Amino acid sequence: MSAIENASRRRFLTGGIIAAGALVLGVRYYSRFSSGDTLPHDTNADHATLHPNVYLGIDPDGTVWIVASRSEMGTTSRTTLPLVVADELDADWKRVKIEQAIGDKRYGDQNTDGSHSIRSFYDAMREAGATARFMLIQAAAQQWGVPAAECETDLHVVVHRSTNRKAGYGELASAAAKLPVPKREELKFKAKSAWRYVGKGEVSYDLEALVTGKAIYGMDARVDGMVYASVEHPPVLGGKVKSYDDKEALKVAGVRQTVPIDPYQPPPAFQPLGGIAVIADNTWAAIQGRKKLNISWDNGANETYDSDAYKKELRETAHKPGKVVRNIGDADAVFAKAVKVYEADYYVPLLAHATMEPMVALAEFKDGKVTAWAPTQNPQAVQDIVSKELGIAKEDVICHVTLLGGGFGRKSKPDYVAEAAVLSKKVGRPVKVVWTREDDIKFDYYNAVASMYMKAALGADGKPTAWLQRSVFPPIPSIFDVNAVYGDPNHLQQGWTDIPYDLPNLRIENGPAKAHVRIGWLRSVANIYHAFGIQCFTDELAHAAGRDPVDYLLDVIGKPRTIDFKGVEYPNYGAPYDAYPWETGRLRHVTEMVAEKSGWGKRKHGKGADVGIAAHRSFLTYVATVVEVEVNDQGEVRIPRVDTVLDAGLVVNPEATRAQFEGAAVFGTSIVRTGEITATKGAINQSNFQDYPVARITEAPYQTNVYIVDSEAPPAGIGEPGVPPFVAAFCNAIYAATGKRVRDLPITKLGLS
């Protein structure tokens, strides 16, 4: 995707250029698709005078346009990736304008998930900036009749020091546009010492819009003539409408019509769930009309699903031999002779994303084409599913990406956008589908429920001589293949097959589990339950061995080494292993550093108060976290302090990174305190924040201190890696403070709140 070409030379949009957004009543109306257009290459970067690359354009007034092709859901990637371009270009950040890309494969992968925006696009962004800088230098050198090698750049200017000449980027843009685009091998990248922004960072480009209510999310998108829809989905996954009566619904003022949506054909993937939509003049009327629908459902096969029985089933499976996914030595032989053997079952229920902005999308079907405006993490997946649902070409689906009111992985799955497109075709108008919070909680793609069985034999020195771990969870591939029941390598790698301990005898297994709800990615995904199982069991063993948990953790991690995954299917988060090896020394380092920063073993804790530690690598980032808790006689838990140390390689935006790790601690707090989705007869029991509570200011950590390791390694993940070690460290702290071992989440099951 990082191939450089002079995009301005292959621009094929000649007419029907999309009108720029206009301001109406303080709300930005997005550009609309005009008939006769194919995918519009309509960014200002595309139209700029100098346009060496799809991500970048420079105009004669010196304005630098940078295209953000990844979605912004709060991680600041919309700012941080353009910062990399601006740095390599030597551009003045104040003269940079960021514009959001539509879904278009010319930008490469746009699925903003897996904490890899910086890792995967850092080089492409540098190349974009370096390419333009190269051309600007060449243009200046030609004008001045001096060798390009004698020219350099300073902030937004090319300079020739010996003759004291300088020219601004704007004045050079026209001349530079006439030059050939250099090959990557010709580019000269800036020395680290000359970096302006990388490693220093910037606040969000949208910061002022975010605090003034001017930022436009999917919920805020509007176009002329649009109507609003609220959809009653089948309460059980795979259910169908048997019959329905909409007489009362149609009597509600503002309701225009009802529209049935076909049930999905298994597997669900990103298809709309089906059901009955109420179309109205405003959101409120649509929701009111929906309440008056009388629908009879055929719930289908998942009606047998009951989460209590399912939990028992998972646990039983976890106690039986499973599929071996990694083996070292002979654990069973050691267990057979061992004197001290410890076993434990860990359990994490289904978890919902609960983004503050519920699912919402606006779509218009017109002349065989769809224009959508959506808070989506994956606009190309929108193109895919909408083209499939409506039987039109992918290129005839334009997906504008708004800001996202939270994503956490939910908005990678565009079922709700497809729903809006399907409805628009049926209604003949632009339709905005608004999910209620209840819809959001009940029709999520949940983080998998997981049961883990852990077993270890300890030698005389207290260290494990044999280790068995077996996990059972309905896998994410089940949304694409109803027969998928085993964990896939992409999720088994997440803190499970890559247990970083130096163990002479290790067996890792996975057992089958059939999904009865849609399973999907949620911030940190399988790392949440895997780190919980491994890091809490390690803490149990430390206490069993009478050892300090930090010392013990370092002991089991063992000497610094690169883990050899021979014989293990280990995708390494899609990154090449030579560039991103699993280095236990880096995990040791963050562990030692967090012990020091948190004052581990040096601070006195009062009655019912103590600390816990956990360390974990996920999304190629090494993190160790110490959580301090206070638990009173009523079982009320407070978190006065969290210390977390991360080694994410090169960190482009430290301020945004600290914010992500502060947020991860709060996200983890919700998981541990109250995170639990259950089902009865196939239908989800929870509905809103009263029965699916998330952490409030009074429950969140009071203070999270984030320390970033100064690292020479290439950039790794930021958005997700903070959650898994927090969850485990929090639970370990609860044990230290109360003697109550958390094996079943959430902690309400232990009478804690």
The smaller minimum CB distance to other proteins, of residues 52 and 375, is found at 375
Which range touches other proteins (CB under 8 A), out of 12-20, 61-69, 330-338, 430-438? 430-438
Whether residue 267 is preceded by a cis peptide bond, meaning omega within 30 degrees of 0, is yes
SS3 53: strand
Which range touches other proteins (CB under 8 A), out of 366-374, 598-606, 622-630, 694-702? 694-702
Structure tokens at 561: 């080494």
DSSP state of 272: -
Binding mask 187-216 for other proteins (x = CB under 8 A): ----------------xx-xxx-xxxxxxx
Q: Which of residues 633-662 bind other proteins (CB under 8 A)?
A: 655, 659-660, 662
The smaller minimum CB distance to other proteins, of residues 113 and 389, is found at 113
Buried b (16+ CB within 10 A) or exposed e, 683-715: bbebeeeeebbbbeeebbbeebbbbbbebebbb
Q: Which amino acid is residue 130, in one-letter code?
A: A
Structure tokens at 373: 């405006």
The smaller minimum CB distance to other proteins, of residues 289 and 500, is found at 289
Question: Cβ of residue 663: shortest distance to other proteins, in angstroms?
Answer: 4
What DSSP line would sit under 635-689, residue for residue? Answer: --EEEEEEEEEEE-SS-S-HHHHHHHHHHHHHHHHHHHHT--B-EETTEE---ST
Strands, E assignment, 486-599: 506-511
Contact 94, 689 (CB under 8 A): no
Q: Does 355 bind other proteins (CB under 8 A)?
A: yes
In whole angstroms, give the CA distance from residue 168 to residue 92: 11
Going by C-alpha positions, the residue among 642, 619, 658 that lies closest to residue 203 is: 658
The smaller minimum CB distance to other proteins, of residues 254 and 267, is found at 254
The smaller minimum CB distance to other proteins, of residues 114 and 475, is found at 114
Helix, strand, coil share (%) of the chain residues, nearest 5: 35, 25, 45
Structure tokens at 212: 């003034």
Sheet holding 704-708, edge to edge: 609-618, 621-631, 637-647, 704-708
Q: Does 292 bind other proteins (CB under 8 A)?
A: no
Q: Which of 262, 636, 702, 749 binds other proteins (CB under 8 A)?
A: 702
- C-alpha dist (Å) from residue 573 to 310, 487, 582, 620: 30, 15, 11, 7
Number of residues that bind other proteins (CB under 8 A): 71
The smaller minimum CB distance to other proteins, of residues 76 and 738, is found at 76
Q: Which of residues 597-636 bind other proteins (CB under 8 A)?
A: none
Which range touches other proteins (CB under 8 A), out of 38-46, 192-200, 415-423, 429-437? 429-437
Q: Which of 189, 480, 577, 689 binds other proteins (CB under 8 A)?
A: 689
The separation between CA 733 and the C-alpha centre of its own chain, rounded to angstroms, equals 27
Q: Does 26 bind other proteins (CB under 8 A)?
A: yes
Question: Cβ of residue 699: shortest distance to other proteins, in angstroms?
Answer: 9
Q: Where do we find the tokens 């698709």?
A: 33
In whole angstroms, give the CA distance from residue 26 to residue 16: 26
Contact 644, 614 (CB under 8 A): no
How deeply is 450 buried, as exposed, middle or buried, from its count of CB atoms within 10 A (0-12, 13-18, 19+)?
buried
Q: Does 376 bind other proteins (CB under 8 A)?
A: no
Q: Does 482 bind other proteins (CB under 8 A)?
A: no
The smaller minimum CB distance to other proteins, of residues 145 and 213, is found at 213
The smaller minimum CB distance to other proteins, of residues 526 and 700, is found at 700
The smaller minimum CB distance to other proteins, of residues 252 and 542, is found at 252
Q: Which of 54, 385, 454, 664 binds other proteins (CB under 8 A)?
A: 664
| Helix residue spans in 184-282 (DSSP H) | 207-212, 247-251
Which range touches other proteins (CB under 8 A), out of 419-427, 431-439, 477-485, 510-518? 431-439
Which range touches other proteins (CB under 8 A), out of 24-32, 44-52, 100-108, 365-373? 24-32
Question: Cβ of residue 665: shortest distance to other proteins, in angstroms?
Answer: 7
In whole angstroms, give the CA distance from residue 402 to residue 215: 9
DSSP-assigned beta bridge partners for residue 642: 627, 704
Q: Does 725 bind other proteins (CB under 8 A)?
A: no
Q: Which of 293, 450, 666, 745 binds other proteins (CB under 8 A)?
A: 666
Q: Which of residues 264-283 bind other proteins (CB under 8 A)?
A: 282-283
In whole angstroms, give the CA distance from residue 379 to residue 105: 10
Q: Which of residues 60-89 bind other proteins (CB under 8 A)?
A: 72-76
**H-helix or E-strand spanning residue 201:** none
- C-alpha dist (Å) from residue 581 to 113, 623, 710: 21, 15, 18
Q: Which of 219, 454, 557, 713 binds other proteins (CB under 8 A)?
A: 219
Q: Does 220 bind other proteins (CB under 8 A)?
A: yes
Question: Cβ of residue 643: shortest distance to other proteins, in angstroms?
Answer: 13
Q: Which of 464, 474, 612, 663 binds other proteins (CB under 8 A)?
A: 663
Question: Cβ of residue 695: shortest distance to other proteins, in angstroms?
Answer: 7
Q: Which of 144, 195, 217, 565 binds other proteins (CB under 8 A)?
A: 217
Q: Which of 24, 155, 194, 393 binds other proteins (CB under 8 A)?
A: 24
Instruction: Report how far apart the first and last C-alpha atoms of the chain are (Å, whole number).
Output: 49
The smaller minimum CB distance to other proteins, of residues 121 and 667, is found at 667
Q: Which of 142, 688, 748, 753 binds other proteins (CB under 8 A)?
A: 688
Q: Which of 25, 149, 339, 460 binds other proteins (CB under 8 A)?
A: 25
In whole angstroms, give the CA distance from residue 225 to residue 305: 42
Q: Does 23 bind other proteins (CB under 8 A)?
A: no
Q: Which of 695, 727, 729, 736 binds other proteins (CB under 8 A)?
A: 695
Q: Which of 397, 479, 694, 752 binds other proteins (CB under 8 A)?
A: 694
Strands, E assignment, 175-293: 227-232, 240-245, 255-261, 275-280
Structure tokens at 293: 């629908």
Which range touches other proteins (CB under 8 A), out of 97-105, 295-303, 315-323, 666-674? 666-674
Q: Does 447 bind other proteins (CB under 8 A)?
A: no
Which range touches other proteins (CB under 8 A), out of 145-153, 285-293, 530-538, 623-631? 285-293
In whole angstroms, give the CA distance from residue 340 to residue 545: 10
Which range touches other proteins (CB under 8 A), out of 52-60, 494-502, 599-607, 665-673? 665-673
Q: Which of residues 83-142 bind other proteins (CB under 8 A)?
A: none
DSSP-assigned beta bridge partners for residue 232: 276
Going by C-alpha positions, the residue among 750, 115, 134, 71 that lies closest to residue 494 is: 115
Structure tokens at 310: 């399912």
Question: Cβ of residue 204: shortest distance to other proteins, in angstroms?
Answer: 7
Binding mask 378-417 for other proteins (x = CB under 8 A): -------------------------xxxxxx---------
The smaller minimum CB distance to other proteins, of residues 55 and 707, is found at 707
The smaller minimum CB distance to other proteins, of residues 253 and 324, is found at 253
SS3 8: helix
The smaller minimum CB distance to other proteins, of residues 158 and 700, is found at 700
Q: Where do we find the tokens 């055929």?
A: 298
Q: Which of 17, 27, 223, 301 binds other proteins (CB under 8 A)?
A: 27
Q: Which long-range contacts (CB under 8 A, 24 or more apart) does 601-605 make?
A: 601/548, 601/550, 605/737
Q: Does 331 bind other proteins (CB under 8 A)?
A: no
- C-alpha dist (Å) from residue 744 to 238, 348, 398, 731, 732: 29, 6, 45, 10, 13
